[in-house]
A and B are shown apart, each in its own frame.
Chain A
Amino acid sequence: MDRDGGIVEANTAARALLPAAAGGDRPPEDLPDWLADAHRRMSGGLGVTRLDALSGAIGERLFEAYPTPSTDGDVVWWLIDDTERRQAEEILRSEQERAAILSEVSSTLLSSLNVAHCTEATARLAACHLADAAVLVTPAQGPCFSLTYARAGGPVTQVLRAIEPATVPGLAEALQGLPPIPTQWIDPGDIPPWAIPEGFAGPVGSVIVTPLPGRGTADGALILLRPGTARAFSESEDGFARLFAARAGAALSAARLYTEQAGITATLIRDLLPPQLGGVHGVEYAGRYRPARDDERVGGDFYDVHPGADPSRESLVVLGDVAGKGLDAAVLTGKIRNSLHTLLPLSHDHEYVLNLLNAALLRSRHSRFVTLVLASARRRGVRVRLRLTSAGHPPPLVVRGDGRVEESGTYGDLVGAMPTVSARTVETVLAPGETCLLYTDGITEARGGPLGGELYGSERLKRDLTGCAGMPAEALVERVHMLAAQWLGQGRHDDMAVVAISAPRAGPLAVVNGEGRPGKTRKRQGRSS
């Protein structure tokens, strides 16, 4: 090109590129502005000999231009077609962006097992990265669907409403998990108002409907929208939306599965938790339970109080310990508690009940055994009559009014391992203010103490209980757990359970919560039902 921008000579390729310029000596009309400008700067006597990264479009293609000045002031421009490399770079950049989006999707969604949170995040991420607006459709109950609306930069809203999926082209298919309909086939005019988020800018221009793959079937579908004013979804965006939906679907179904399982666990555990105890037919009961691991709520120890049909009948107290810890053991405690509940009418004969339970356990596929204490309690006047039977279990302790601690003389075989169970039942009477304590070996086998590693032991427990004379049942079980906890320090421990049976200190059906010597003072200190 000469100083004035006229084309002096052009090769065949250049003539093909700029046909109007071919041959002529005048500045061609169709020489692109960016090239014309650059030429003026080169030849304008500004002494510029090098220009940086000169590039621009000619027609539909992209070129890089390299000038070579000659001594007579003409400039030879070498034009190199750059279209393919630019396109490749463009594709690479968009793929990198997409990989980043998918990674964000996975880390955002998989960090939560909350279904509502996952749904909201899916809609938000889709509206932010894939489209201008997104609607997540997940089946709820019957004709109702949960709809989650999101706009780029806008709030996410969730509503539950009855919709007809067939009103959105491809939605019914997507909800069945069938392959999505290509975006070009969907007429944006067919999108019903319910599928368009509030505040969406203008009429819908293009639409993607894609299934959210779940366990075996679709867990829902995603509708992506762009307004008519924006560029329509391309085929590659359609494909990317499916990838996005696959990630989101996996996260959502994991969250759903977890929620289902957590619900089942909560239901099952409810029945395994120890009951709340209180006063029954003029006898006070209190229980405390501490599982072997503080992050568990159930374990191998259990207790129940089955009230007698009326105050003249005995109530049956059961405290037991299944070999083992955790959920495995807890499931077996559930079976044993149910069996004993069924055997209540026979509880006038403890040994017989134990033998029936033994037979039932031997028939089951468990190789586990249980040790337990049965206590039948009945109020007679101000006293409480007790029948106590130990089956392979530490014998109950009776805290007398004067501070003496007696070990009841009951003993018997453990249940569930041997063909028959023999056991000796003993009777005792509690005067007002006196308490019978049932405990599992988690208490006496607590290891710790000042030197560490030493057993708490039944002798120490008896000694500590002498200071607990006259304590109400609630206070006593609390005290025993505290003693064991203090002995343990930070050490590991087995399941620990304690039940106290007390004769109230004053009046029928009164709760004792004060001090004073039982049997001597008759002052009424508290009252409850």
Chain B
Amino acid sequence: MTTPSPDFSLVVTAVPDALIVEVAGDLDRGTGEKLIRTVAERLTPDTAFRRLRLDFRHLTWIDSMGLSALLMVHHHADTAGVGLRLDRRPDFLERLLDLTGTFTYLTGIPRAAGEVPDAGAG
């Protein structure tokens, strides 16, 4: 907040059955809307993607509006019949998901199984 937030960026990669979005920088009100738009544009009801993977390796911060954006992304993915994965979660994201009880809801993974992110968290 006092420090200038690092540049926000979204890198979108499509692999055969998954859409991968790398989220870098701060996820807050303004950038959250960009994430929602990016996902909503690509996940149409007839999409061939089976999975949406958000990669948070370069996420620097998330606030409540950022969490709100994740909930909206989940809504879009759910509507399109696409499963959501939250990959390489930094500690502060992990704490926020824990505090708000949203991890299982967002990913469909019971908390015990979700304790270990599938790739080495950075």
Query: Which residues of A are at the interface with B, using a C-beta cutoff of 8 A?
Result: 321, 323-324, 367-369, 371, 392-394, 411-414, 417-418, 421-422, 441, 445, 447-448, 452-453, 488-494
Complex contact A323–B3 (CB within 8 A): no
Complex contact B100–A323 (CB within 8 A): no
Closest chain B residue, CB of each to CB of A418: B105
CA distance A489 to B1 in the complex (A): 12
Closest chain B residue, CB of each to CB of A392: B100
A494's partner among B2, B63, B68, B105 (CB-CB below 8 A) is B63
Determine the chain B residues whose CB is within 8 A of the CB of A413 once the complex forms.
100-102, 105
Complex contact A452–B63 (CB within 8 A): no
Q: Please, could you name 9 A-B residue pairs with CB atoms under 8 Å apart, sorted by A?
A: A323-B64, A394-B99, A412-B101, A413-B105, A417-B68, A447-B2, A489-B2, A493-B1, A494-B1
CA distance A351 to B67 in the complex (A): 22
Residue B86 at the chain A interface, CB threshold 8 Å: no
Determine the chain B residues whose CB is within 8 A of the CB of A441 once the complex forms.
64
CA distance A334 to B102 in the complex (A): 24
The minimal Cβ–Cβ distance linking A299 to chain B, given in whole angstroms, is 12
A323's partner among B1, B68, B99, B105 (CB-CB below 8 A) is B68
The minimal Cβ–Cβ distance linking A454 to chain B, given in whole angstroms, is 9
Closest chain A residue, CB of each to CB of B98: A411
Known: A323-B65, A413-B100, A494-B63. A367 touches B1 (CB 8 A): no
Residue B72 at the chain A interface, CB threshold 8 Å: yes
The minimal Cβ–Cβ distance linking B40 to chain A, given in whole angstroms, is 13
> What number of A-B contacts does a CB cutoff of 8 Å give?
67
Complex contact B63–A492 (CB within 8 A): no
CA distance A369 to B64 in the complex (A): 9
Candidate in B3, B64, B65 with the most chain A CB atoms within 10 angstroms: B64
Known: A453-B3, A492-B2. A414 touches B102 (CB 8 A): yes
CA distance A324 to B1 in the complex (A): 15
CA distance A418 to B99 in the complex (A): 14
Determine the chain B residues whose CB is within 8 A of the CB of A417 once the complex forms.
68, 71, 102, 105
Known: A371-B100, A414-B101, A418-B102. A453 touches B64 (CB 8 A): no
Known: A323-B68, A369-B71. A448 touches B101 (CB 8 A): no
The minimal Cβ–Cβ distance linking B83 to chain A, given in whole angstroms, is 17
Complex contact B64–A448 (CB within 8 A): no
The minimal Cβ–Cβ distance linking B98 to chain A, given in whole angstroms, is 8
CA distance A258 to B68 in the complex (A): 35
Residue B57 at the chain A interface, CB threshold 8 Å: no
The minimal Cβ–Cβ distance linking B24 to chain A, given in whole angstroms, is 18
Residue B29 at the chain A interface, CB threshold 8 Å: yes
The minimal Cβ–Cβ distance linking A458 to chain B, given in whole angstroms, is 10
Q: B38-73 interface mask toward A, CB cutoff 8 Å, 1 = contact, 0 = none?
A: 000000000000000000000000011101100110
Determine the chain B residues whose CB is within 8 A of the CB of A494 once the complex forms.
1, 63
How many chain B residues sit at the interface, stated as a range, is: 10 to 19
Closest chain B residue, CB of each to CB of A492: B1
Complex contact B99–A392 (CB within 8 A): yes
The 9 closest A-B pairs by CB, nearest first: A491-B2, A413-B101, A453-B3, A392-B100, A323-B64, A414-B100, A447-B1, A323-B68, A418-B105
CA distance A4 to B27 in the complex (A): 103
Complex contact A452–B101 (CB within 8 A): no
Which residues 67-99 of B have a CB within 8 angstroms of A? 67-68, 71-72, 75, 99
Complex contact B64–A321 (CB within 8 A): yes
Determine the chain A residues whose CB is within 8 A of the CB of B67 once the complex forms.
323, 369
Determine the chain A residues whose CB is within 8 A of the CB of B101 once the complex forms.
392, 411-414, 418, 421-422
Determine the chain B residues whose CB is within 8 A of the CB of A490 once the complex forms.
2
Complex contact B3–A447 (CB within 8 A): yes
Known: A368-B68, A369-B68, A418-B105. A452 touches B3 (CB 8 A): yes
The minimal Cβ–Cβ distance linking A332 to chain B, given in whole angstroms, is 12
Complex contact B29–A324 (CB within 8 A): yes
Candidate in B72, B100, B102 with the most chain A CB atoms within 10 angstroms: B100
Complex contact B68–A452 (CB within 8 A): no
Determine the chain A residues whose CB is within 8 A of the CB of B105 once the complex forms.
413, 417-418
Determine the chain B residues whose CB is within 8 A of the CB of A421 once the complex forms.
101
CA distance A324 to B3 in the complex (A): 20
Complex contact A324–B100 (CB within 8 A): no
Determine the chain B residues whose CB is within 8 A of the CB of A488 once the complex forms.
2
CA distance A362 to B102 in the complex (A): 15
CA distance A21 to B68 in the complex (A): 101
The minimal Cβ–Cβ distance linking A324 to chain B, given in whole angstroms, is 6
B64's partner among A324, A411, A412 (CB-CB below 8 A) is A324
CA distance A491 to B3 in the complex (A): 9
CA distance A227 to B67 in the complex (A): 74
The minimal Cβ–Cβ distance linking B73 to chain A, given in whole angstroms, is 12
Determine the chain A residues whose CB is within 8 A of the CB of B68 once the complex forms.
323-324, 367-369, 417
Closest chain B residue, CB of each to CB of A394: B99
Determine the chain B residues whose CB is within 8 A of the CB of A422 once the complex forms.
101
Known interface pairs A321-B64, A413-B105, A418-B101; 9 further A-B residue pairs with C-beta atoms within 8 A, sorted by A's residue number = A323-B67, A367-B68, A367-B75, A371-B99, A371-B100, A414-B100, A422-B101, A453-B3, A493-B1
Complex contact A491–B100 (CB within 8 A): no
Determine the chain B residues whose CB is within 8 A of the CB of A447 once the complex forms.
1-3
The minimal Cβ–Cβ distance linking B112 to chain A, given in whole angstroms, is 15
The minimal Cβ–Cβ distance linking A363 to chain B, given in whole angstroms, is 15
Known: A393-B99, A413-B102. A452 touches B29 (CB 8 A): no
Q: B1-37 interface mask toward A, CB cutoff 8 Å, 1 = contact, 0 = none?
A: 1110000000000000000000000000100000000
The minimal Cβ–Cβ distance linking A501 to chain B, given in whole angstroms, is 21
Closest chain B residue, CB of each to CB of A390: B99
CA distance A422 to B100 in the complex (A): 11
